[in-house]
Structure 1
Amino acid sequence: MATHLKSLSDFTHLKAYSAEAFTFGIVVAQWNAAVTGSLYDGAYQLLLDKGAKQDNIKTIQVPGSFELTSGADILLQDASIDAVICLGCVIQGETRHFDFICNAVANGITNVSLKYSKPVIFGVLTTDNQQQAEDRAGGIHGNKGEEAAITAIQMAKISSDLIK
């Protein structure tokens, strides 16, 4: 089936872990707020649905996707955080700004993860237009915020199992 006809947020093939034992950070970009707000709602609700306690979900907002890396770094200074979810949305424009931001954010998130040896999840939409972003923030292609939360739970579990 073509991807334009289905939701991509299907977790049925993944092992479902409980989030109860973990503390999560969520960094959400304020730029493209309608989209990032939907991503946040999806991620936050999925964490709760999987057993995370409200007190174990720490959220900060940053101005834009470029600042997600700094936000993740700030959150990970709290040693109790097991994984950080970075949520943002960068929509292609007429200039190369899109390429620079997307590349910087992807590399920055990877570097913060390696710096702290903790999972930092890339929940950043990089779309050609507003409609594609909306389709992936609770629209016909599901909610990538939920996918980022599932990834955070899985990675926190793997990390806790292997690093004692």
Structure 2
Amino acid sequence: MATHLKGLSDFSHIEIPSAEDFKFGIVVSQWNAEVTGALLEGAYAALAKNGALAENIIEIQVPGSFELTSGADLLLASKNVDAVICLGCVIQGETRHFDFICNAVANGITNVALKYSKPVIFGVLTTDNLQQAKDRSGGKHGNKGEEAAVTAIMMAQIQSTLS
């Protein structure tokens, strides 16, 4: 969690379980590709660092952040995964488009998680400008993709202990 004292991706205070026994889906937006590509790299790095096997990671790309919900739904309907990580970036513009997209994506991801009773992780940057997005996709505030992957690992572990 970001504070004025540290970046996003500091996991030194928590124990991250092994990801070796889990299968993950990653749904990534192609819009704002410079940022979402960096988020994707961060997610893959965190999964690999914590033991996820490459063959247990399924990636699909969707046109924009609005389509993350549909992508997660299609992935969960067709593949047996333990958690889905949704990665996107919506940057504030001059119109209310930002508000509608961010709200729809947040609600949609929640609804997909509830529909399938599987962790669907919100790894979507909602920033005022491109620099803030860069700062959160591998810059001075860490990498939200890495944070989303760690969250997916932890939630998959929680679900496996409750099943």
Instruction: Identify the TM-score tier after normalising by the shorter chain.
Output: over 0.9
CA contact (8 A) 1:25 1:75 kept: yes
Preserved contact between residue 66 and residue 101 of structure 1 (Cα < 8 Å) = yes
Name the structure 1 match of 2:95.
95
Residues paired across the two proteins, number: 162
Sequence identity, in percent?
Answer: 75
Q: Which amino acid aligns with 1:30?
A: Q
Instruction: Tell me if structure 2 keeps the 8 A contact 1:5–1:140.
Output: no
Q: Is the 8 A contact 1:24 1:85 kept in 2?
A: yes
- CA offsets, 1:83-142, max 9 Å, x none? 000000000000000000000000000000000000000000000000000000000000
Code of the residue aligned with 2:12 in structure 1: it is T
Matched residue, 1:148: 148
Counting only pairs closer than 5 Å after superposition, residues 1-164 of structure 1 correspond to structure 2 as 3=3, 6-163=6-163
Amino acid at match of 1:133: A
Distance 2:84 2:13 in 1: 23
Q: Is the Cα contact below 8 Å between 1:6 and 1:140 reproduced in 2?
A: no
1:154–1:5 distance in 2 versus 1, CA, 3 Å: closer
Q: Deviations over 1:53-104 (max 9, x none)?
A: 1000000000000000000001101352000000000000000000000000
* Equivalent residue letter for 1:153: I
- CA distance in 2 between counterparts of 1:16 and 1:48 reads 12
TM-score normalized by the length of structure 2 = 0.96
Q: Cα distance, 1:14 vs. partner?
A: 1.5
Task: Kindly report the root-mean-square deviation, in angstroms, between the aligned alpha carbons of the 2 structures.
Answer: 1.3
The one-letter code of the counterpart of 1:120 is: V
- Following the alignment from structure 2 to structure 1, what is the Cα–Cα distance between the partners of residues 155 and 16? 12
Structure 1 unmatched runs, 5+:
none
> Quick check: 5-14 or 77-86, which moved more?
5-14
Mapped partners of 1:110, 1:128: distance in 2: 23
| Ranges in structure 2 where 5+ consecutive residues have no aligned partner | none
2: distance between equivalents of 1:14 and 1:126? 25
How far 1:36 sits from its partner (Å)? 0.2
> Mean Cα displacement is larger for which, 12-21 or 117-126?
12-21
